[in-house]
Structure 1
Amino acid sequence: MSNNLVKYSILLLLCLLHVNVSAQISSGGSPLPYKHPQPSEKARKVVATESVTNFYYKLPVDTNKTLPENNLRVLYTGTVCNVDLSPTNSGTTFTTEDGTNIWRVGMYSPNAASISLIFSEFNVPDGAKLFLYNPSQTIVYGAFTSANNNSHNTLPIRPLDNDTIVIEYQEPMDAAFKGSLKIGSAVHNFESSTSATRKVRQFYYAERCSPHTSVWEGAEPIKRSVCILYATGTSSAWWGTANLINNADKHPYIYTAAHNVDETNVEHHVIWYFNYEVPAKDTLVQGSEEFTMASSEVIARDFTLDFALLELNQMPPKDYRPYLAGWNLTASPTPPLTCIQHPQGDTKRISQTTNAPVISTFDGDILNPVQNSFWRINRWQKGTTEPGSSGSALLDNNGYIIGALTGGNSTCDSPVLDYFSRISYAWDYYQDASKQLKIWLDPYNTGITQMDGADPYENSHPCARTNNYTDTDEMSIIYIGNGISGLLAGHNSLEHTAFAEKFSFDEDKLLYGAYVVPCIGKYNSSAPVYLNIYNGTDVPEDIIGSAQIHPQDLTFVRGELGTKDKVTLTKKENYIKFDTPIKVGKTFFVGCQIQYAQIDSFGIYAVENRTINNSAFYQDDNGWHSYTEHSYMPTNTSLWIEPVVCFDDISSVQNVNDNASNNFLVSPNPTSDKIQWESTNNEIGDEVYFELFDIQGRLCNFGKSTLVQMPPAKGIYILRLIDGINTEVHKIIRK
């Protein structure tokens, strides 16, 4: 097994301390090793005597506080605590050998299912990184960087499932300015962020009568506009639903109910979750929750019409595969009518009626509703709505938005009387621009009364989630048999060490990440699992990208906080995003590398006895083989691995004139030190983000500064300038 040991060492180098990272748009990297004692009550006292004064801050939770109750379809889950924590008054600060300045502070809230934060001050220089993690660093959010800077200088961070968290800020010695950070509030969530439920948040707690969007024929692409919102107010936190909505200038606008953002500046404290749904192949498999964003502004809102229009700080990234929903101002919508929602904060579900809506007025918990400005659904023939559905769009027979859910009391047993605010009233009932949709969705006053939906990246190479299985293929747990124990694509007595799926395209691709769906996914510290990207033609060859998969849970044992292995990979879509898109060319392989120990604990779903060509491969001591060559179970199969890929515009820059530019001027080029870019198009806004890659596709620098420091190595680099929708690519020569 010496070959495997060598490969294992190479993997360790490739992974570069990669951890399980997910949060609002983050830029990769890792926090420093964490060596403080685990934050049990006993350990907290010890920490206080080890020159880390007040390192762990206990949230001042009012245990007698109750959450709001009303007939709006909002799901309230947490209570807000005002805090004032910054590098100058809390935690510990120190400097590493390379001069990086570090601030760390811990926070705990006994019996919290999760903790979320609001940075009331957040403005950091290029090169600085902020992380949030549990004490064992098995859950890490970040890095949050200068790319997260915004006009209101705040940063909300989504719930981390633990009652104890650590915040770490890293600032380079040569930073352009000293970062400004202050935690202004934290939320003690009574229910886990893993999936919302009525009392204990668990996956699959929405009412079973509401079908999943993944099995609804008309869901694509409109379902990609739907998102969850998690809002932190002054005293409580809540969950609702919203939609990206199309407009003339393709701004990242979000349409929802006004009561979902009913406090001053609460929009600065909202986390948006995209793509949370079960896969059609198996609706008992939990969807991925890695696609999140933060930072938004309310640009129009009125409570008497119960609508709100917000603008995200930037368009969701390409690998989020966003869609801007169309809309229709008709007063007589054609059924069937559909509502796509996140009931109980769960995966996307639908409710549908074959009856026309009734013009009505909402008689519930909003003040002075405008008469006849609501649609009433008398009865759903499919599904219902629930707390957490609030703000979800009502769609006509063409999938156009005609309203947003305000409230009601429908259930599976009695799916009647839900109310939606009418988009036609929100259009121009009030003349004030801050209380209407028209000026924002039709800024050129064209007089249109409906607009088709659109992919915001349709002109700049949108990403696609791809796979090799067919509609009739069934994913199975396949055991080898014939005297051999274990899984065909997992641990087995043959000690096969890797499994990979082949993908081929007609043009070069960039791989942003991949979904992996294990049938067994228990973490074993003696046998770590890696997601690998390979080049090759007929079989996998060299590893060109790798990330370790390492899930764990925290647990209390005799009053002390510790860790335990968890099975969160099992029967879940796990999206592994690489810090830098990987240049994979036209043909590549995506797979999992496993190690062997006393306890074997990993395997991937695969298609059993497929009738078309094989697309999967396995590795043993003699190299890679097609599954059709398997000694004990030769078969055509396909693994449940789905990469997210886009057209490779980095490689295509080789054919671009060095000085060609549509929207930006970059100089000097060639350069010996720095380059500077500036916009040549007055329509380009202030929110421009740059990424600098080397010719191998590795990310070298990023941020919003117009002055870009080049790496010391001479050669060709790729500069990507992104204005939210469009991407412009320049070839830079470092001499």
Structure 2
Amino acid sequence: MYFNYFQKYWFNLYHVHFSMSLNKTKRERQNSSDEVSIFASNQLFQMKKSLLIVPAAVLFMAPTAMAQVSHGGQPLNWEKQTTTSFQFVQLPELNMATIEAEDAENDQYKEFGFRFGIERSANLNTNSNGTWSVENNMNVWRLGVHAPNATGVSFVFNNFDLPKSAKLFIYDAEKTHYIGSFDYTNKQANGMLASTLVYGEKVIIELQVPTTENLDKTYLSINQIVHAYRGLNSKFEELKALARGPFGNSGSCNISINCPEGDDWQVEKKSVALIASGGNAVCSGALVNNTANDGYPYFLTANHCLGGGVGNWTFYFNHESATCNGNSGPTNQTVSGGSLLASNGGSDFGLLEINNGNPITYNVEWAGWDNTDSENAVTAGTGIHHPSGDLKKICHDTDGPYHDNVQGAAVWYIDQWEDGMTEGGSSGSPLFNQDHRIIGQLYGGSASCQNQSGADWYGRFGVSWDGNSSSSRLRDWLDPQNSTTVLDGYPTGAVTYSVDAASSGVTNVPEDLCGLETVSPVFVLKNNGSSNLTSCTITYNFNNGSNQTINWTGNLAEDATANVQLASFTAIPGTNTVNVNVSSPNGQTDENGNNNSTVKSFEVNVGEDVLNLTLETDNFGYETYWEVRGPNNQVVASGGNTNVGPNGGGDRIADANDPGAYPNNSTINETIQLDGNGCYTFLIVDDYDDGICCGFTTGAGSYELTDGNNTLMAEGGEFEEEEETEFGMTKALSISEADFGSVSLYPNPSEGTVFVEIQNIDKLTGISIIDIMGKTVAEFASFQSTKMTLDLNRLADGVYYVNLNSEKGTIAKKLVLLRN
């Protein structure tokens, strides 16, 4: 059923066709504005009777650059405030009701990629569209595209003919970021180039050609525009409220690659990429090594992902959160375009060659493999993937997969994941054995956050190895001599080092804390070298503070580890980091510098003992229940449908007449008085397991939980059966700025002299300065007026907290010391 559904939707692409009303020469088009008529080939778009191109007066502001195998430079006048007029193409609006209905159905299926945009056919080119001008000894061609309410726009250039000195850039109209430059070397063998997404609804293409070049040799044409409508945040690649990637979000049961479950997979993760095609986060896949150990851009994915062709695919590498709980990751490490080398439905594999640039500059890895296909030799399996187009995730099967046959394909069958899960968009991602070598790629399955006991199955690498010809097997490409059964990765796994001290992670660090507690991290030192490791230098710091050093001595054999106790430190509110680096193994230069460092992060969320809840109910307010539990798991406050209760998520029994049921689309405000310090938990439950926001029928519900200082403790709305947030509460923070009347601290940043103004000076009992290690570095106790001068010139540059103390508690103000 899954594969038929995938086929049906993959080939049902959505198009809007552009026909040009004018056909002018280059000379006639300079400084002109043309009209464009736009026609829809289906009913996905709300059409207007007539649409015109209008001159765009765009005010350009500050820069932020992005990359896609680019070649340097920047758009003209990028750092200057200028007004430039040129032609804009106006796209019609999307019919979101129809699109959301399709997505609600489509997103259930693993074999179908996560659609984040609508693909629109176009016929735009440098001969008939856009505006030419002469600037700074350059012939400059610009064309703007306005996609109403778009989260991003990308393009497929079906003709990409540029002279060697020409450069192409694409950027947003607000001028926050750009991609490029692209030049003649970016042209694929098929003459095309597919761009990555540029965030925003107004996007500009700028071509720079030196006036010394013959414009007759210059020709760009665009045959597809992707109008992204979900899963992107315009501008800065940060999705503020939800743990999601720019192309989509996965279920809460998925585990970030940089959580502890991924500590041992930091090398292999670098081989895995997200695949985007047009408006779809199609699948996942991985770079795979060959016996030449030469970094040739072979890329392994699933056969069922290949529908629609691979020439316009874009491969996103290192798209992951830097921390376990982070919600954003890079989208600027990309290459585009592939050629299909071999595929076979009998094991559902596809092997590609990446066309446009080698991703080696992104610090990637070519994964090793095992083609023995020995069932008894595989004791565990690990998947690394991009579920639903999300940030990179990891899952573990600790009892090992087994051989089976599913829908005519030879597979590794996983009964149930012990850690993590896969979803649509994970298809094609690698399955590694316990020796960190690929043994398959994801074909399909029923596992999901809604069905965590479901199975998954992966096409078997060993079966893919052999076939009738080079176009249906792997061996001709990865091992032309067919002489190898097991190969390690490249460059890390393919090189043996004599002296190689490595970081194997940091332990004894919590994922999060609900109090300003003492943390005592342990660094795991590993010897990756063939010679015994007898000494090394371990350098570490907390929260980017002053470095501390341990001169370690011992005797570690190859692959052995040792636990090294680091100093303790007091956690601070917000994000805490432990940074560790190992160097000078056996008093020598480390032969492999790629595995020396580790950054471990955790969160501290502490508020005062008053909570304010604002709940915006969705179209089905009666499905919602919430509660706050105290340090002993006791319920201290609750609200909503009591028939649903804390355990009723997904039961689908709620009724509008149930006791406590909230009305639809209403605002609920609650003030919760808490008595006692400690850890508290906020739980919100939805009876229909579709959360309170953002679904096709759900509506736009949300919740926000703040303390008495208006500090955000929890927020959200887009979840499934339930969502839970833990935080700390303490009376020590129960004072608010209102108790001081008003508080001002300036200048900030400061060069060393800081002024503090407090209206109610009689409430102040002292001021203490705390560094990011939690250490008190200065104190002030005598105050003669409402304006005080703090002399901090002896303190080093960095981040500090100015604690204003009273009998009721403390107000903390963040301060940055920064000298010129």
Q: Normalising TM by the smaller chain, what interval? A: 0.5 to 0.7
Q: Note the alpha carbon deviations across 1:235-259, whole angstroms, 9 max, x for none.
A: x523321111011233111101122
Q: 1:351 is paired with a residue of what secondary structure?
A: strand
2:469 to 412, 421, 432: 432
- The answer to whether the 8 Å contact 2:343/2:472 transfers is yes
Question: Does structure 1 residue 258 correspond to structure 2 residue 258?
Answer: no
Q: Relative to 1, partners in 2 of residues 1:606 and 1:443: Cα closer, same or farther, differing over 3 Å?
A: farther
- The answer to whether the 8 Å contact 1:195/1:345 transfers is no
1:163 to 176, 201, 211: 201
Once the two structures are superposed, the pairs formed by residues 110-509 of structure 1 within 5 Å of their partners are 110-175=148-213, 178-193=217-232, 194=237, 205-214=249-258, 215=260, 216-232=262-278, 237-249=280-292, 250=294, 251-263=296-308, 266-280=309-323, 283-284=325-326, 286-313=328-355, 316-329=358-371, 330-332=373-375, 333-363=377-407, 369-370=408-409, 373-415=410-452, 416-428=454-466, 430-446=467-483, 448-455=484-491, 476=543
Residue 71 of structure 1: how far off its partner (Å): 4.4
Q: Relative to 1, partners in 2 of residues 1:420 and 1:381: Cα closer, same or farther, differing over 3 Å?
A: same
Task: Return the letter of the residue paired with 1:286.
Answer: S
Q: Structure 1 length as normaliser, TM-score? A: 0.56
Matches of 2:544 and 2:590, distance apart in 1: 33
Compare CA radii of gyration and give the structure with the larger one.
2
What is the aligned-residue RMSD (CA, Å)? 5.0
Matches of 1:57 and 1:37, distance apart in 2: 24
Q: Relative to 1, partners in 2 of residues 1:91 and 1:449: Cα closer, same or farther, differing over 3 Å?
A: same
Q: Note the alpha carbon deviations across 1:196-234, whole angstroms, 9 max, x for none.
A: 9999966994333333222223202111111111112xx
Matches of 1:258 and 1:597, distance apart in 2: 61
Quote the residue 1:92 is aligned against: 131
Residue 625 of structure 1: how far off its partner (Å): 8.6
- The answer to whether the 8 Å contact 2:230/2:248 transfers is no
Quote the residue 2:89 is aligned against: 56
Matches of 2:442 and 2:248, distance apart in 1: 22
Matches of 1:134 and 1:347, distance apart in 2: 23
Q: 2:311 is paired with a residue of what secondary structure?
A: helix
Quote the residue 1:608 is aligned against: 773
- The answer to whether the 8 Å contact 1:76/1:237 transfers is yes
Structure 1: 5+ residue stretches without partners: 1-16, 40-46, 364-368, 479-487, 489-500, 520-595, 611-620, 634-638, 640-735
Task: Return the letter of the residue paired with 2:413.
Answer: R
Q: 2:116 is paired with a residue of what secondary structure?
A: strand
Matches of 1:608 and 1:245, distance apart in 2: 43
Q: Note the alpha carbon deviations across 1:269-323, whole angstroms, 9 max, x for none.
A: 111111122235x633633333111122111123343211111136645541111
Q: Relative to 1, partners in 2 of residues 1:270 and 1:27: Cα closer, same or farther, differing over 3 Å?
A: same
Matches of 1:139 and 1:377, distance apart in 2: 43
Deviates more, 1:310-319 or 1:399-408: 310-319
Matches of 2:748 and 2:426, distance apart in 1: 43
Matches of 1:306 and 1:195, distance apart in 2: 35
Q: Which has the bigger relative contact order, CA under 8 A and spacing at least 6?
A: 1
Quote the residue 1:28 is aligned against: 72
Q: 2:119 is paired with a residue of what secondary structure?
A: strand
- The answer to whether the 8 Å contact 2:334/2:359 transfers is no
Task: Return the letter of the residue paired with 2:395.
Answer: S
Task: Return the letter of the residue paired with 2:458.
Answer: F
Residue 408 of structure 1: how far off its partner (Å): 1.6
- The answer to whether the 8 Å contact 1:271/1:294 transfers is yes
Matches of 1:200 and 1:323, distance apart in 2: 24
- The answer to whether the 8 Å contact 1:77/1:190 transfers is yes
Residue 62 of structure 1: how far off its partner (Å): 6.8
2:145 to 107, 120, 139: 107
Matches of 1:253 and 1:136, distance apart in 2: 38
- The answer to whether the 8 Å contact 1:257/1:390 transfers is yes
Matches of 1:90 and 1:597, distance apart in 2: 53
Q: 2:180 is paired with a residue of what secondary structure?
A: strand
Q: Relative to 1, partners in 2 of residues 1:34 and 1:285: Cα closer, same or farther, differing over 3 Å?
A: closer
Matches of 2:374 and 2:360, distance apart in 1: 35
Q: Note the alpha carbon deviations across 1:513-553, whole angstroms, 9 max, x for none.
A: x999999xxxxxxxxxxxxxxxxxxxxxxxxxxxxxxxxxx
Residue 355 of structure 1: how far off its partner (Å): 2.1
Task: Return the letter of the residue paired with 1:303.
Answer: G
Q: Relative to 1, partners in 2 of residues 1:597 and 1:202: Cα closer, same or farther, differing over 3 Å?
A: farther
Residue 171 of structure 1: how far off its partner (Å): 1.1
Q: 2:310 is paired with a residue of what secondary structure?
A: helix
Matches of 1:74 and 1:345, distance apart in 2: 8
What count of residue pairs does the alignment treat as equivalent?
A: 482
Task: Return the letter of the residue paired with 2:219.
Answer: S
Q: Structure 2 length as normaliser, TM-score? A: 0.51
Residue 414 of structure 1: how far off its partner (Å): 2.7
